[in-house]
């Protein structure tokens, strides 16, 4: 509850989890900043913001020490990541495309049906809850990635965890009377579930084609230094083309 008082250990725990989330995936700073702004601007929880932010900074500082120890000099990896990829623009060398293409790739990766359902229910939730914290988190995270030159659908994966909530929320509000579900609706739901199961089975059996590539390189080089020549066998830059 927004009006419920938080205990000190709860604030510290939330801050620690926020710090860990940032260390594991630097892009999460976008979502974490959205949460901080929401708590300060909308909820006006200034004390909680200071304590949780302090705990997050402490965790990030602790993770900073192993970098200094292992690299052998003073360095801050998140800053290096930001500077090289955003400021210097090296991220674009991994490929870049515009916003329209990005939206298409997101739809394609989700086989259009599933991604379409997620985008529709997400849009419905935003429309109904413009001042909700989940709206702030998801919108800020997704929009920020639209302005990064190198775009991949997988970058938005952390936001996928909200999709079941969006779907259930939309169904609950659109069909407030569950008796409204006809046999046609049930058939459509079974159809979607069937496609999902087939797609999961296909991906599971097919596997990632780059895995064998990395295993081969590892087996060739693990015992002693080895010169390995990579020959491109296709008009592409991915590992499995070599």
* Average pLDDT, integer, range 146-172: 88
SS3 27: coil
The percent of residues in the chain predicted with pLDDT above 70, rounded, is 90
Find the angle CA(84)-CA(102)-CA(78) to the nearest 5 degrees. Answer: 25
pLDDT digits (tens, 9 = 90+) for 55-101: 999 999 998 888 889 888 898 999 998 998 888 888 777 777 788 88
Contact 8, 2 (CB under 8 A): no
Greater model confidence, 230 or 27: 27
- At residue 237, the pLDDT reads 61
pLDDT of residue 133: 93
CA distance linking residue 109 with residue 99, whole number of Å:
15
151: left (phi over 0), alpha (psi -120 to 50) or beta: beta
Residues 109, 153: contact at Cβ < 8 Å? yes
Instruction: Check if the beta carbon of residue 34 is closer than 8 Å to that of residue 136.
Output: yes
Tell me the pLDDT of the chain averaged across its residues: 85
Of 2-11, 110-119, 182-191, the range with the highest mean pLDDT is: 110-119
pLDDT score for 236: 63
pLDDT tens digit sequence for 17-46: 999 999 999 999 999 999 999 999 998 889
Taking CA atoms, 31 is separated from 25, 53, 89, 226, in Å, by 11, 14, 22, 43
pTM value surpassing 0.85: no
- Burial of 180-199, coded b for 16+ CB within 10 Å and e otherwise, reads eeeeeeeeeeeeeeeeeeee
Instruction: Inform me whether the pLDDT recorded for 1 exceeds 60.
Output: no
Copy the structure tokens of residue 214. 């990395």
Q: Is residue 242 scored above 70 in pLDDT? A: no
> Residue 208: is its pLDDT beyond 80?
no
């Amino acid at each position: 509850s927004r009006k419920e008082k938080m205990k000190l250990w709860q604030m510290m725990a939330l801050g620690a989890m926020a710090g860990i989330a940032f260390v594991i995936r630097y892009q999460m700073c976008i979502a974490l900043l959205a949460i901080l702004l929401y708590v300060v601007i909308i909820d006006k929880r200034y004390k909680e913001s200071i304590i949780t932010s302090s705990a997050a900074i402490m965790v990030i500082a602790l993770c900073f020490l192993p970098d200094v120890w292992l690299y052998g000099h003073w360095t801050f990896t998140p800053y290096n990541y930001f500077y090289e990829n955003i400021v210097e623009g090296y991220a674009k060398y991994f490929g870049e495309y515009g916003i329209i293409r990005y939206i298409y790739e997101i739809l394609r990766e989700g086989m259009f049906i599933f991604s379409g359902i997620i985008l529709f229910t997400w849009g419905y939730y935003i429309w109904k809850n413009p001042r909700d914290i989940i709206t702030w988190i998801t919108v800020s995270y997704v929009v920020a990635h639209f302005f990064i030159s190198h775009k991949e659908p997988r970058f938005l994966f952390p936001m996928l965890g909200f999709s079941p909530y969006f779907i259930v929320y939309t169904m609950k509000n659109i069909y407030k009377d569950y008796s409204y579900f006809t046999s046609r609706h049930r058939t459509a739901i079974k159809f979607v579930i069937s496609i999902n199961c087939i797609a999961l089975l296909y991906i599971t059996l097919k596997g990632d084609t780059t895995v064998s590539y990395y295993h081969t390189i590892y087996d060739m080089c693990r015992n002693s230094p080895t010169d390995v020549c990579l020959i491109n066998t296709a008009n592409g830059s991915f590992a499995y083309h070599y």
